[in-house]
């Protein structure tokens, strides 16, 4: 007896996309979610296993999604991914994921070895602050990473970024 039939999970294979979609209804899981009241409408945990075959290697990627749709893997698997699924319960979830991606690409956050004392929190704060500063400076239309590299090599551009974050004097007067 397979795990799918034993637990009543729903499974669907998408041949053209080389993906296996597993959908598990939350009622079948015996644990409570952290702050469960904030997850209104959450119905299903979806696991997607994507396999990619190249001429010299095979890669396998596993991703988890949270969905407000019922646990029907065939229905979930045939819908566009991940537009019909949500990774977090609110619309800010995608923003959080994008910001985390920017942190990783720009500063190599996943490879950071800063782990002692308050250093991780302090560095995270500085990295987020610098990304916000880079986003406020709009004269150089490049990626955040390219802006960071330019600021490290060009002192005038770094000062321009810092000046862009300072509000104008007329805004401070309270008018």
In which residue are the tokens 């969905």 written? 67
Tokens for 129, please give them.
């602050």
Q: How many whole angstroms separate alpha carbon 48 and alpha carbon 62?
A: 6
Contact between 44 and 18 (Cβ < 8 Å): no
> What is the arithmetic mean of pLDDT over 76-81?
52
Tokens for 143, please give them.
């990626």
> In whole angstroms, how far apart are CA 162 and each of 53, 152, 159?
47, 13, 5
> What is the arithmetic mean of pLDDT over 106-110?
77
Predicted confidence at residue 153, as pLDDT, reads: 94
With a CB cutoff of 8 Å and minimum separation 6, the contacts of 162 are: 133
The H or E element containing residue 61 is strand 58-67
Predicted confidence at residue 15, as pLDDT, reads: 52
Contact between 45 and 29 (Cβ < 8 Å): yes
Tokens for 15, please give them.
């041949």
Q: What is the pLDDT of residues 18-52, one digit of tens each?
A: 566 655 655 555 566 677 777 777 777 766 677 77
Stated pTM of the model: 0.42
Contact between 51 and 19 (Cβ < 8 Å): yes
- Residue 158 pLDDT class (50, 70, 90 cuts): very high
Cα angle 152-121-62, degrees, rounded to a multiple of 5 = 90
């Amino acid at each position: 007896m397979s795990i799918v039939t034993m637990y009543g999970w729903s499974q669907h294979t998408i041949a053209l996309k080389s993906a296996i979609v597993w959908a598990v209804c939350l009622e079948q899981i015996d644990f409570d979610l952290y702050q469960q009241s904030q997850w209104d409408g959450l119905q299903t945990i979806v696991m997607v296993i994507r396999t990619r075959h190249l001429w010299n290697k095979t890669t396998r990627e596993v991703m988890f999604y949270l969905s407000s749709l019922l646990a029907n893997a065939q229905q979930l698997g045939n819908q566009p991914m991940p537009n019909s699924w949500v990774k977090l319960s609110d619309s800010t979830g995608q923003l959080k994921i994008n910001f985390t991606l920017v942190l990783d690409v720009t500063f190599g956050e996943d490879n950071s070895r800063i782990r002692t004392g308050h250093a991780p929190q302090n560095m995270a704060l500085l990295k987020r602050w610098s990304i916000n500063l880079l986003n406020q400076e709009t004269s150089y239309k490049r990626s955040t990473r390219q802006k960071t590299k330019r600021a490290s090599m060009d002192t005038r551009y770094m000062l321009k970024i810092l000046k862009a974050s300072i509000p104008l004097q007329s805004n401070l007067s309270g008018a």
